Structure 1
């Protein structure tokens, strides 16, 4: 049951990420997320990086309070959130934005589709008119471009 809770939480986080990204990061907290879309400079840290702390707090609290009560379900929900956050960091910051230069020349269709979808998201520098707010789920059209000769979206 504990492993199932972790796995379900991990996948539920994709939907929550989409909602949070679209309605909070591109809404109420745009002031923190704006510099992630501003391509005029490339600082080592952005205001957007505060979201790692903001999103880590509920996971830490869930793991803490869940561990007090004999590692109850809250602990495993916190683990699922943490694993999703780690996956997000590795894929978004390291792979997509190349903060550490790895997998730069990959030919993996899934990874290329993730990269393309994120690039489409970043073509909009303002908070309006965005697309592709998710992370692991990639719309089929971004896969098709790597299997079709014309490679258009």
Structure 2
């Protein structure tokens, strides 16, 4: 079941501008499956939040903060809402290695409920709070590289 709360991208835009550019890392299949993840039909590793965190740690990396994910959206020209028809935005985030097929995990907890973590759905450009138990895509980061 999807989370009931949707969080606006507007809150995140101001904090993303000063972030150092992270190095984005995709999990190799071996790291993915050995640490609790699974390979999706389009070849991307997906896992629940706990396993995604472990997979990133196995790569000497971590899950990105919500600010790092939102920074990708902002740099690709996302508006506050309704990005599905924004072709420049849709093309940009895909060129950066993200998919429109799933939500992407962040390391950022949702302040109002410790059982929820913030995720980005690149297709619409919004931020959501979801249960840590759900499966989703993720990319790992090494900061400042």
- TM-score, reference length from structure 2: 0.28
Structure with the higher fraction of residues in helix conformation: 1
Select the structure of larger CA radius of gyration. 1
- TM-score, reference length from structure 1: 0.27
More relative contact order in 1 or in 2 (CA 8 Å, sep 6+)? 2
